[in-house]
């Protein structure tokens, strides 16, 4: 479906074949039992290449799958705390957060304020800071503890490798 009168042709081996008519380029591709593919339609004259289009599509899809397989997906894990949490429970939650962070995931730490706790939200922020002190060897604070409605939220991210080595 190449509608240009002349094209710059590249052979199957990558050699420049020069500027030829599109009909002649189609004949050359047909004789080689390959396809004529328009590579750069904006160029003057447009650039076409003689190649096996099915094989080309297969290889590009294979490269895309390989790149997708090598990607690291970062999840956002959530840990709920309470304003009246005890030290032992806080340590258990910190150990769980450390496990999530060592796997490379982000951790969202939340405290839901109930009833009169809304009047003393600063105590919830203190609990969050105490929690961060327990996990700061493996975590950095992406978002500081802030009051959002009836919740106090904090987001932790894993430390970079060079920062872990410095500590």
Q: Strand 106-112 vs strand 151-158: parallel, antiparallel, or unpaired?
A: antiparallel
Same fold, 6-69 and 76-166: no
pLDDT digits (tens), the chain, 167 positions: 778 889 999 998 888 989 999 899 999 999 999 999 988 888 888 999 999 999 989 999 999 998 888 777 778 899 999 888 899 999 999 999 999 999 889 999 999 988 888 888 888 889 999 999 999 899 999 999 988 888 999 999 998 765 555 55
Could you confirm whether domain 6-69 is CATH 3.10.20.80? yes
As a whole number of angstroms, the distance between CA 43 and CA 55 comes to 25
- Residue 74 is predicted with a pLDDT of 76
Domain parsing of the chain, residue ranges: 6-69, 76-166
- Residue 89 is predicted with a pLDDT of 93
As a whole number of angstroms, the distance between CA 69 and CA 46 comes to 35
């Amino acid at each position: 479906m190449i509608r240009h009168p002349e094209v710059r042709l590249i052979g199957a081996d990558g050699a420049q074949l020069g500027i030829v008519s599109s009909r002649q380029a189609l004949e050359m591709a047909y004789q080689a039992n390959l396809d004529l593919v328009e590579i750069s339609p904006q160029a003057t004259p447009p650039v076409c290449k003689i190649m096996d289009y099915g094989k080309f599509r297969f290889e590009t899809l294979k490269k895309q799958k390989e790149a997708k397989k090598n990607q690291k997906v970062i999840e956002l894990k959530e840990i709920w705390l309470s304003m009246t949490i005890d030290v032992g429970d806080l340590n258990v939650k910190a150990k769980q957060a450390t496990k999530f962070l060592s796997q490379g995931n982000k951790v969202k730490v939340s405290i839901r304020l109930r009833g009169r706790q809304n009047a003393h939200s600063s105590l919830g922020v203190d609990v969050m800071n105490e929690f961060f002190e327990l996990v700061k060897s493996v975590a950095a604070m992406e978002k500081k503890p802030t009051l959002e409605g009836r919740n106090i939220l904090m987001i932790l991210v894993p430390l970079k490798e060079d920062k872990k080595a410095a500590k």
